[in-house]
Amino acid sequence: MSFLFNKYSRPKTPGDLVRAVREFVLRMDTLGPKGVEEASRELARYLAQIKYMVVGTNDAPPSPEVVVAVAQEIYQQDLLTLLITHLIHLDFETKKTVAALVTHLMRLQMGHRYPTVEYFAARPDLLAFLIQGYENPEVALNCGVMVRECARSKPLAKTMLAHPIFWSFFSYVQSTTFDTASDAFVTFRDLLTRHTDLATAFLDANYDAFFERHTQLMHSTNYVTKRQSIRLLGELLTERSNHQIMMRYLASTENLKVIMNLFRDQSRNIQFEAFHPFKLFVANPRKTRAVADILIRNRDKLMTYISNCVPDMIGNQPNEDKMLVLEKLAELSCASSEPPSLSAASHLDRSTVSSNPAA
């Protein structure tokens, strides 16, 4: 054992440091408790040195030449895969160091290339392994940081959306561990909103499967998950590139019933979140006859509810959405169940989704 520590006690070059870290990680699986403890301390020290070379400090920015040299050694030794797959065995601070190292390497550009993006692109199962980190609370938040950094890259986001592991987010966001569920939802939302063209293509290709699962989230017993899911629905429907998806969603009476039933929730915040997708059904200039009929049959109750329960002001500004919805509901009649004029189409953009003033 002493030979192992003496061998790497004073690494002199980036290559020495990377090889020392690799050796320690590989040996940790075979060491006893005391050996693991000692190896962990040495591993933390060497990783901190590598991080310093790549990240630098506020007073001492890293040398571009050194960053490239370290990065190339990391790629050649396949160190990122080794660290990520052994993340669970590392101590708290070392996990944070690994996440910080991956974050900075993801942004490293060599000429016109982003070599760390290429590294992950060639290893889709490594991306899936990172996402699966949400299954273990000990590494969930560290993995979340790295997944979101990868999601900044359009090619990697596309890979993650296409991988079967993406559907596991519907379970991760309902984790009984609050921090895990919250972090997973941030990542889930990021993948569905950051690159709008990718998200639109994904939602179009997986419309039924996605919205079936998303509806279940809106019925979650987890208050935070439920509220965030309703809010995300509003974001997705009012994204301009999702116009056809929005129109398909608004044509469904089942979807309208789901939203209207949320008005019965005991939480005023949930009710308020539900108002945002609901107003899209009301303002839609191309309502299906079935949707219009439901709104007409429930018009008086809806108008009473909205008048009493939806706030008149958002901050210091009048709630124009409330006034618009009341106006459109008042215009409905049995004779108006045919699609109305397209003049209301201007109300169906992202500006119609307001922030909830209630915390």
Count of Cβ atoms closer than 10 Å to residue 30 Cβ? 8
Look at the block and give the residue holding tokens 């895990």. Answer: 180
Please tell me the predicted confidence (pLDDT) of residue 353. 40
- List all residues 6 or more positions away from 40 whose beta carbon is below 8 Å from its beta carbon: 28, 90, 91, 94
Please tell me the predicted confidence (pLDDT) of residue 11. 58
pLDDT, one tens digit per residue, over 37-70 is 777 888 888 999 999 999 888 888 888 898 999 9
Question: Which amino acid makes up residue 241?
Answer: S
Yes or no: say if 157 and 198 are a contact pair by the CB < 8 Å rule. Answer: yes
Mean pLDDT (whole number) for 67-92:
94
Structure tokens at 214: 């998303």
Element (H, E) at 318: strand 317-318
- List all residues 6 or more positions away from 230 whose beta carbon is below 8 Å from its beta carbon: 218, 262, 270, 273, 274, 276, 277
Domains of the chain: 1-122 (1.25.10.10), 195-359 (1.25.10.10)
| Gap between the Cα atoms of 64 and 104, Å rounded | 13
Mean pLDDT (whole number) for 209-227:
96
Percent share of the chain, pLDDT over 90: 70
Question: Which amino acid makes up residue 229?
Answer: S
H-type helices in 166-286, by residue range?
Answer: 169-172, 178-193, 196-205, 207-217, 223-238, 243-250, 253-262, 268-283
Of 123 and 339, which is predicted with more confidence?
123
Selection from 95-99, 321-325, 329-333 with the highest mean pLDDT: 95-99
pLDDT, one tens digit per residue, over 128-161 is 999 999 999 999 999 999 999 999 999 999 999 9
- Candidates 174, 287, 276; CA nearest to 235 is 276
Low-confidence winner among 22-26, 199-203, 224-228, 272-276 (lowest mean pLDDT): 22-26
Look at the block and give the residue holding tokens 């992950």. Answer: 120
Looking at the predicted structure, is the pLDDT value of residue 354 above 60? Answer: no
Residues in the chain: 359
Low-confidence winner among 7-11, 49-53, 74-78, 326-330 (lowest mean pLDDT): 7-11
pLDDT, one tens digit per residue, over 174-211 is 999 999 999 999 999 999 999 999 999 999 999 999 99
